[in-house]
Amino acid sequence: CKRATYCSKECQRRDWKEGGHKTRCKMMRTMDIQTKEEGRSKAASKRAGMAEKQLSAAGSEVLLNNTYNIMLQASLRGMNALDSVVFIDFTSLKPKIVIITQEEFLADTAEEGRDHHASIFERNRRSGAISAACCNGTHVLVKTLPAESAPIAFGHLPRERRWRAAQERVDTE
What pLDDT, in 10s, does the model give residues 78-112?
998 889 999 999 998 899 999 999 999 999 888 88
Looking at residue 103, its pLDDT comes to 93
Say how far apart CA 144 and CA 86 lie, in whole Å.
Answer: 10
The percentage of the chain sitting over the pLDDT mark of 90, rounded to a whole number, equals: 30
For residues 161 and 128, is the Cβ–Cβ distance under 8 A?
Answer: yes
Looking at residue 32, its pLDDT comes to 55
Q: Decide which of 22 and 71 is more confident.
A: 71
Q: Tell me the average pLDDT of the chain.
A: 82
Q: What average pLDDT does range 134-156 have in this prediction?
A: 86
Q: What average pLDDT does range 57-64 have in this prediction?
A: 90
